[in-house]
Amino acid sequence: MSSIIVRGLDESVKDRLAAQAREHGRSMEAEVRDILTRASSRPHIGIALMRVARDVGGVEGLEIPARSDTARAADFG
């Protein structure tokens, strides 16, 4: 099994990881291992969209409609 060292981690991040680990009833190392495992398993949205487009025959013939709207300032008043 491999190991990594994370240098320059903000103390507040370490504190939050420790609290999260306590909430889950495991060590901070186990918590970080779980977080990294889940994060590295998530599909990349761009790649997922490319695969879907490929599976339905591609997007080369897809018509892109012209924009008819104009940008306007938001009114927060």
Least Cα distance to 45 among 37, 53, 55 occurs for: 53
**Domains of the chain by residue range:** 11-55
Q: What angle do CA 14, 44, 2 make, to 5 degrees?
A: 50
What pLDDT sits at residue 35?
A: 95
pLDDT beyond 90 at 20? yes
**Global pTM?**
0.56
Torsion of CA 31, 33, 35, 40, to 10 degrees: 180
pLDDT tens sequence across 23-75: 999 999 999 999 999 988 888 888 888 889 889 888 888 888 898 888 889 98
Extract long-range pairs of 41-46: CB within 8 Å, 24+ residues apart. none
